[in-house]
């Protein structure tokens, strides 16, 4: 599970930096930056849901109290 989370975080960062590159280098009116940032939002939402489901199903243990 740890490797999946790290992989998704790396993909989020890659999408973030590709969006930055497209904003800086593309001609005005290009939609590539919007698509890259939409992918980042989708990955972030997916990671959040994955973490919530993992906690719910017991793949991520709670803190001992």
What are the mean pLDDT values of the chain's consecutive 10-residue runs (65 residues total)?
Answer: 93 95 89 93 97 92 75
Token pair of 60, please?
Answer: 């991520």
Question: What span, in angstroms and rounded, lies between the C-alpha atoms of 40 and 19?
Answer: 9
63 located within any domain: no
Range of the domain at 33: 2-56
- Which pLDDT score, from 0 to 100, does residue 63 have? 74
The residue with tokens 């994955």 is: 50
**Contact (CB, 8 A) for 62 and 55:** yes
How far apart are the C-alpha atoms of 62 and 23, rounded to whole Å? 41
Give the single-character DSSP code of 1: -
The verdict on residue 62 lying in a domain is no
38 in a structural domain: yes
The answer to whether residue 37 is domain-embedded is: yes
């Amino acid at each position: 599970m740890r490797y999946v989370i790290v992989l998704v975080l790396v993909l989020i960062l890659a999408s973030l930096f590709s969006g930055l590159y497209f904003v800086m280098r593309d001609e005005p009116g290009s939609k590539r930056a919007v698509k890259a940032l939409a992918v980042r939002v989708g990955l972030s939402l997916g990671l959040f849901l994955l973490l919530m489901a993992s906690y719910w199903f017991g793949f991520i243990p709670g803190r001992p109290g």
